[in-house]
Amino acid sequence: MVDVGKIVREATTAYLAPPAPNRATPARLKILVKSLRKTTDQVYAEFIVKKATNLNFWISNSSSFDQFKADMDAWQGRLQGYEAALSAAPASDRKAILWTVTAPLLLGFYGGADSKAPQAVPDVATPYILMNGFGTMQTFADENYDRLMADMKDAAVAIAKKITTHTMNIGAGVGIALAGYGVYLLASKRKR
């Protein structure tokens, strides 16, 4: 799992920490957004491969896929918006991207200058939140398989014990019947 809080702190500090001036220029944020794109693409590709190739992963998490896909699609849309805004802005014009990129990406302020408080987690954390969600799905699938195997082992042992007990009971019953018949034969020979 990735420490999302640490990632947000590092990004915010790198671009906005006082006493240095705001260093969130379009040119610098393009580099950040490019790395977020790379991470996003990697997480999504791993998800698609795992979903397509691992039946246990698919069975264990099928109800989570729709939400993961919706979250990924929403993030991809915002990421494309950041890329477009950064491409359109002059390389050193911080004000041109203040409310369209810097505020939501690094501070979690959405809705422009009218935002009074952060609305959500800063978007710089989103690919890592998705990565953690994917990791949780993988862990659940692996643990689910282990639980299934443990349950099957316990059930197999219980069934084997029952079969053994019944076999022994049947064998004991047959043995007692044969012994009884033997006693009957011996007793009947004595009477003659």
Q: How confident is the model at residue 80 (pLDDT cuts 50, 70, 90)?
A: very high
User: Is 86 a member of any domain?
Assistant: yes
97 Cβ neighbours under 8 A, 6+ residues apart? 24, 26, 29, 85, 86, 89
Give, as one character, the DSSP assignment of residue 154: H
From residue 112, alpha-carbon distances to 86, 103, 108 in Å are: 16, 8, 11
pLDDT surpasses 60 at 74: yes
Look up tokens 């969130």; give the residue. Answer: 24
User: Is 17 a member of any domain?
Assistant: yes
Look up tokens 């959405």; give the residue. Answer: 110
Q: Is 47 within 8 Å of 134 (Cβ atoms)?
A: yes
Segments forming the whole domain that contains residue 8: 4-154
pTM: 0.71
User: Is 174 a member of any domain?
Assistant: no
The stretch 75-95 carries a mean pLDDT of 93
User: Is 161 a member of any domain?
Assistant: no
The stretch 46-59 carries a mean pLDDT of 81
